[in-house]
Amino acid sequence: MKPQTIGRVLGTGLRVAGRIAGERMAASAQTAATSPAPQPQTAAQNRAAGKTAGKATRNVARGVGGFLRPFGRIGGILWLEVTGVFFFLPVVVFAPTLWRIRASWLRGPDHSTFLITAGIMVIFFYLSVSSFWRARKK
């Protein structure tokens, strides 16, 4: 999202909310000055006030959502990169074991250890690379 659109959405929401708040304050000041006793509101007035408040809330929510959308994208990319680093840690940890028992990959006393270590490394290497790949595509 372009910075100009973020500002526009946020500014529009704030202007609408400010206008509504100003109208309400002016209306309450005017009714307080003209009528000495408070009058109960009718159901139609309550509904109209609820609709106005709902519109203001929606506009502010749209403005704030537009403002926070780029941060959500950056947060998602950062999350994928950090996850990729943590998935790469088992590969680094198991690499010396795989190198040490490489001679018994086909037949030997550590054949099953070699296969398990290689399998773990392949799985976590795939998860790490795919996480970085997804971060790059965002």
Question: Lowest-confidence range among 22-31, 82-91, 107-116?
Answer: 22-31
- Domain total in the chain: 1
Q: How far apart are CA 103 and CA 8, in angstroms?
A: 65
User: By CB neighbour count within 10 A (0-12 exposed, 13-18 middle, 19+ buried), where does 130 fall?
Assistant: middle
Q: Which domain holds residue 47?
A: 3-137
* pLDDT higher than threshold 80 for residue 121: yes
pLDDT at residue 138 greater than cutoff 90? no
pLDDT band at 35 (very low <50, low <70, confident <90, very high): low
pLDDT at 39 over 60: no
Which pLDDT value is given to residue 37? 54
